[in-house]
A and B are shown apart, each in its own frame.
Chain A
Amino acid sequence: MTRPPLRHSAAFSPDVIAEIQRAADEGLYGIRGFGTLRPLPSFDDLVLLGASISRYPLEGYRERCATDVTLGTRFAKKPIELKIPITIAGMSFGALGANAKRALGRGASAAGISTTTGDGGMSEEERAESDILVYQVLPSRYGFDPAHLRACEAIEIVVGQGAKPGGGGMLLGQKITERVAQMRTLPAGIDQRSACRHPDWIGPDDLTIKIAELREATDWEKPIFVKIGSARPRYDVQLAVKAGADVVVLDGMQGGTAATQEVFIEHAGIPTLPALRQAVEALEELGMHRKVQLVISGGIRSGADLAKALAMGADAVSIGTAALVALGCNRRVHVEDYTALGTEPGACHHCHTGRCPVGITTQDPVLESRLDVAEGARRVRNFLTVLTIEAQTLARACGKSHLHNLEPEDLAALTVEAAAMAGVPLAGTDWIPGRNGY
């Protein structure tokens, strides 16, 4: 007699059952790396319309599609110029090893873009390799040094990140080596607890004064970015502008992390798609779109994502997870090490363990040596190039001589949710749910 097919509960799926059992075993929340694993409405649900009889495309090669962007034009004496509208997001030295930071810096510099420090301070490696370095000011202030503030090209005040809006940094003991401990002024081997609020300001009214202090300390030269995890972007973006930011960096729910509570990653914040739309509306309402630049991050994976984000009104995108994947994250090598972690290439999100099989999110010198800096930089540079030419391909097809000329009217949505979230008509209709009374 054949057995009938097994039926799994949707609510109590094998995943959920395993998690409840783990919680019962350990008595602590699950902690992991990477961004949201579950599917969410995203740029995949949008398409670019391309040329037709009413719109004409540009040829490649001689018919330029320019890609440059300037960040920080509002107040700074020295805004930063990027060759392409992409930045490498803040990822800490500590979460990442030194080789990863070197490779990202070198690859970014080759492509003419910036990298960003992270929740551990500035490493010499990153400063040496990265031509344009954005220095983060975080709630923890680990390793914060005014000399580094003066040595960077831009300053980014971190209010939150997409993986955990409202949460502070986390680094587990196995990654707190002597060097990391020394940089962060912590005992080696402990599990780092971090503050979720800045120690010396809270609220946009006091952020105004903090931004002014940082400008005073650097003689008003450098652009000041404010980074927010997307929870209430309509308000937060306006408040960042009112507080005096030159640039707003908005990180959607899909944004990655090297170590955060699972429950935070999956259940807090809104996806990048609606966050971006609300941020652009917020800027337009203040008459500040393009005057305060908007950088969007959280699940940017391809030139299509870049083109769609720019079409929706972003000035640039920031990549974190994608940059690491380009470096080698989840590459099919050292498969036995993935197995030892309980995973396999293509499914690994075990950054928190410090046992990264490809040597990126680890402090272990043996594992780190698996990441060749020159090769890694080459791969990052290649990926950035592909993002650019993919976006240019789509932009030229829409008749744009500059990526910034992409606009929301170049987009259509494939689902009702994406139409509502992106504020873009459902393909084949004029319908944007929530607008025009229906």
Chain B
Amino acid sequence: MIEVDLAQSSVRELNQRLHRIGPGDNEHHWRVVSPNGAHAIAVGLTAPVHVEIRGHVGYYCAGMNALATVVVDGHAGTGLAENIMSGSVRVRGNAAQSAAASGRGGLVIIDGDASARCGISMKGVAIVVGGSVGHMSAFMGQAGTLVVCGGAGHDLGDSIYEADIFVAGEVASLGADCIEKEMTPADVDRVAALLGCAQIVEDAGRFRHYGSARRLYNFHIDHAAEY
């Protein structure tokens, strides 16, 4: 296990070392201390390493992650795991805005609350939130799954495409073209599986399913008000 203290070395040095990890390398376990809210920690990883960060991180932690497992033992700033391709990113505390923005694959877990725009523009990532999400979550969500154990703020799923949203708590309001959908047994299984991956204990049967009404898929005068 390699420990890196960001009070002694820079984020740039850390990221370069992580980027150089190759298939033959033995050092797969990293611990980062004293993050002190620094930005872009563990960004652009491409190897199946395990990175644990002790403390709060700034913006874009684990952005563009591929294959790696990143755990933040603290809170995360804007854009956690933005555009994640694969692998997993977990935040034990809360996440700020735009968590998992445009994420294309992999798993993002937020044990606490996520803020506004959680899963904005998501393109295939699976997001599991132990707490609640803020307004405009899953805005323009194109694909993937957002599972929220707590509640959701206003305009959930505004302008959503084919992403699926499951919320156990109260939804303040639904956004344009987002409607409640049937919760099928297959959906219950899907939610249960994701909760299992996230190791969050919650009854999958409590969740309600939200997604696109698909009325905005082709420009039409009758929906002008939605635009």
Residues of A participating in the B interface, judged by any CB pair closer than 8 Å: 26-28, 140-141, 144-147, 149-150, 172-173, 184-187, 190-191, 193, 195, 199-201, 206, 209-210, 212-213, 216-220
CA A200 to CA B123, docked complex, whole Å: 14
B-chain residues with CB within 8 Å of residue A28 when the two chains form the complex: 219-221, 224
CB closest chain-A residue, reference B216 = A193
CA A213 to CA B64, docked complex, whole Å: 10
If A141-B83, A212-B39 touch, whether A193 touches B221 (CB-CB below 8 Å) is no
A-chain residues with CB within 8 Å of residue B220 when the two chains form the complex: 28
Contact B98 A200, beta carbon cutoff 8 Å: yes
Closest 5 CB pairs of A and B: A217-B44, A27-B221, A146-B64, A200-B79, A141-B102
A sample of 23 cross-chain residue pairs with beta-carbon separation below 8 angstroms, ordered by A number, consists of A27-B221, A28-B220, A28-B221, A28-B224, A141-B102, A141-B121, A144-B83, A146-B44, A146-B64, A185-B104, A185-B142, A187-B162, A187-B217, A195-B139, A195-B140, A199-B101, A200-B60, A200-B78, A209-B60, A210-B59, A210-B60, A212-B40, A213-B39
CA A212 to CA B58, docked complex, whole Å: 12
B53 interfacial by beta-carbon distance below 8 Å: no
If A141-B102, A146-B64, A199-B101 touch, whether A186 touches B161 (CB-CB below 8 Å) is yes
B-chain residues with CB within 8 Å of residue A219 when the two chains form the complex: 15-16, 19
Contact A146 B40, beta carbon cutoff 8 Å: no
Which of the listed residues B98, B121, B218, B224 has the most CB atoms from chain A within 10 Å of its own CB? B121
Separation in Å of the B42 CB from the closest CB of chain A? 9
B-chain residues with CB within 8 Å of residue A140 when the two chains form the complex: 121
Contact A199 B224, beta carbon cutoff 8 Å: no
CB closest chain-B residue, reference A184 = B142
If A140-B121, A187-B161, A200-B101 touch, whether A216 touches B221 (CB-CB below 8 Å) is no
CA A373 to CA B44, docked complex, whole Å: 35
DSSP class of B's interface residues: helix, strand, loop or mixed? loop
Separation in Å of the A167 CB from the closest CB of chain B? 12
Given contacts A27-B221, A185-B104, 20 further A-B contacts (CB under 8 A): A140-B121, A145-B104, A146-B64, A146-B85, A147-B66, A149-B44, A185-B123, A190-B161, A191-B219, A200-B120, A201-B79, A206-B59, A209-B39, A209-B60, A213-B63, A213-B79, A216-B12, A216-B40, A216-B44, A217-B64
Separation in Å of the B24 CB from the closest CB of chain A? 20
B-chain residues with CB within 8 Å of residue A193 when the two chains form the complex: 140, 159, 216
CB closest chain-A residue, reference B219 = A191
With beta carbons under 8 angstroms apart, the residue of A146, A173, A195 that contacts B218 is A173
Contact A199 B104, beta carbon cutoff 8 Å: no
CA A191 to CA B216, docked complex, whole Å: 8
With beta carbons under 8 angstroms apart, the residue of A149, A191, A216 that contacts B11 is A216
CA A184 to CA B219, docked complex, whole Å: 18
Separation in Å of the A216 CB from the closest CB of chain B? 4
CA A209 to CA B40, docked complex, whole Å: 8
A-chain residues with CB within 8 Å of residue B66 when the two chains form the complex: 146-147
Contact A213 B43, beta carbon cutoff 8 Å: yes
A-chain residues with CB within 8 Å of residue B98 when the two chains form the complex: 199-200
Separation in Å of the A200 CB from the closest CB of chain B? 4
CA A149 to CA B102, docked complex, whole Å: 15
Separation in Å of the A51 CB from the closest CB of chain B? 51
A-chain residues with CB within 8 Å of residue B111 when the two chains form the complex: none
Contact B123 A213, beta carbon cutoff 8 Å: no
CA A212 to CA B143, docked complex, whole Å: 28
CA A13 to CA B120, docked complex, whole Å: 44
Contact A206 B78, beta carbon cutoff 8 Å: yes
Contact B217 A190, beta carbon cutoff 8 Å: yes
If A144-B83, A217-B64 touch, whether A209 touches B44 (CB-CB below 8 Å) is no
B209 interfacial by beta-carbon distance below 8 Å: no
CB closest chain-A residue, reference B177 = A193
B90 interfacial by beta-carbon distance below 8 Å: no
Contact A218 B44, beta carbon cutoff 8 Å: yes
CA A28 to CA B142, docked complex, whole Å: 24
Contact string against A for B residues 142-182, beta-carbon threshold 8 Å, 1 for contact and 0 otherwise: 11000000000000000101100000000000000000000
B-chain residues with CB within 8 Å of residue A199 when the two chains form the complex: 82, 98, 101-102, 117, 120-121, 139
B211 interfacial by beta-carbon distance below 8 Å: no
B124 interfacial by beta-carbon distance below 8 Å: yes
Which of the listed residues A26, A190, A195, A199 has the most CB atoms from chain B within 10 Å of its own CB? A199
A-chain residues with CB within 8 Å of residue B60 when the two chains form the complex: 200, 209-210, 213
A-chain residues with CB within 8 Å of residue B40 when the two chains form the complex: 209, 212-213, 216-217
Contact A141 B123, beta carbon cutoff 8 Å: yes
A-chain residues with CB within 8 Å of residue B83 when the two chains form the complex: 141, 144, 146
CA A200 to CA B217, docked complex, whole Å: 24
CB closest chain-B residue, reference A140 = B121
CB closest chain-A residue, reference B220 = A28
CA A186 to CA B120, docked complex, whole Å: 15
With beta carbons under 8 angstroms apart, the residue of A26, A145, A186, A206 that contacts B142 is A186
Contact string against A for B residues 60-83, beta-carbon threshold 8 Å, 1 for contact and 0 otherwise: 100110100000000000110011
